[in-house]
Amino acid sequence: MSYARVIGTGGYLPERILTNAELVKMVNTTENWVETRTGIRERRIAAPGERTSDLAEHAARQAIDMAGISPQELDLIVVATTTPDHVFPSVACLLQDRLGIHNGGPAFDVQAVCTGFVYAIDVANRFFRTDACNKALVVGAETFSRIIDWTDRNTCILFGDGAGAVVLETASEPGIVSSHLHADGKYHELLNVPAGVSANYEQVLKGEAYTQMQGSEVFKWAVKALGDIVDETLQANGLTKSDIDWLVPHQANIRIISATAKKLNMDMDQVVVTVERHGNTSAASIPLAFNEAVRDGRIKRGQKVIMEGFGGGFTWGSILLIY
Ligand code: COA
């Protein structure tokens, strides 16, 4: 059985920056409220006409360049997204075509909202573990701004757009050490877009299929689930807190991130934080943060990294990897 290891990372943010100062003109909030309650100062918004596949392609090409491979060598593409270009085909298939790969290996999307990238890495890793693939592209990409009601102060302050990517290659040692995935659909109403193709389609037609959230309930659940998943990850691998070099958390709220870091006895300088500049980019947030810390030299070869995420569903999970 083979393992998967990361050989390239990439990230892309749309050009348009939306600051808290601008949000104050749109909804009844203050710059101070948003920054102190969430840690967010600004977020990026995709241009009109800019699609999830466009963001994904930028991030993917960077990751492929760093890996030093040709796109044709990829025999698996998995894209984590909740905001695909179309109902179908998948963003992964659109991306495969953009990358000039034809008659290639499997390409498909994974939808687990903000835990999407963690789920996608887990799925891709299983291809490596069964020797079903040699090189894989795993992307998290979102245009979440398209499913936000920009008059709802409960949600519009939180989210942004972006994409992050990794290229994985087969290896004789991990790489991806373990993954831990969970879901509990009982809580689907606490965080959702209650419209789609087969339910409340009229809201989609009116352009009113928006994210709804019971923020404080989600907050409590996220802190608990992310704390538990850290324990589960350490126990499964016989590790202690001090064995972990880096935490790359989903970037939803600095207070959720700090609570998980505390649980790991980690200083915040061992935690990769982008939430102040990116907001919550859902499935893109973890690979965007990972890419930043790899490219600026913080995360070094041989170091142990925990990625962890929480999102609608509810879904939550973690990845332990050795970079
Ligand atoms: N600006 C100003 N006031 C706001 C506000 C805003 N944007 N949004 C809510 N408020 C108000 C509320 O109306 C409430 O007022 P009240 O006390 O008069 O009723 C007060 O602020 C506190 O609201 P509450 O929802 O308890 O605040 P909070 O501290 O929980 O922060 C969130 C709200 C949304 C920032 C926080 O709950 C959160 O981050 N939740 C998790 C969100 C998340 O991570 N979602 C995605 C998961 S992947």
Question: Where do the structural domains in the chain lie, given as residue ranges?
Answer: 3-172, 177-322
In this predicted model, what pLDDT tens digit does every residue of 77-114 receive, in sequence order? Answer: 999 999 999 999 999 999 999 999 999 999 999 999 99
* Minimum CA distance residue for ligand 1 atom 42: 215
- The pLDDT value given to residue 263: 86
**Out of 133, 250, 253, 278, which one is annotated catalytic?**
250
- The pLDDT value given to residue 155: 98
Q: Which residues of the chain have pLDDT under 70?
A: none
* Two tokens, residue 84: 């695909």
In whole angstroms, give the CA distance from residue 277 to residue 292: 12
| φ, ψ of residue 226 in degrees (nearest 5) | -75, -35
In whole angstroms, give the CA distance from residue 13 to residue 197: 28
* Residue for token pair 């179908």: 88
- The pLDDT value given to residue 1: 80
Between 3.40.47.10, 3.10.20.30, 3.40.50.10070, 3.40.50.720, what CATH number should domain 3-172 receive? 3.40.47.10
Q: Which of 211, 311, 284, 208 shows the shortest CA–CA distance to 43?
A: 284
Mutate-to-test residue for ligand 1 from 184, 219, 226, highest number of ligand atoms within 8 A of CB: 219
- The pLDDT value given to residue 143: 98
Per DSSP, the three-state class of 297 is coil
**Out of 93, 114, 133, 156, which one is annotated catalytic?**
114
> What CATH number was assigned to the domain covering residues 177-322?
3.40.47.10
* Minimum CA distance residue for ligand 1 atom 24: 216
Identify whether 114 is a catalytic site residue.
Answer: yes
Q: Which of 236, 240, 273 shows the shortest CA–CA distance to 257?
A: 273
Domains 3-172 and 177-322 share a fold: yes
* Minimum CA distance residue for ligand 1 atom 4: 29
For residue 23, give the ligand 1 atom closest to its CA: 7
CB-CB neighbours of 301 under 10 Å: 9
Identify whether 58 is a catalytic site residue.
Answer: no
In whole angstroms, give the CA distance from residue 21 to residue 49: 25
- The pLDDT value given to residue 50: 98
Give, as one character, the DSSP assignment of residue 47.
P
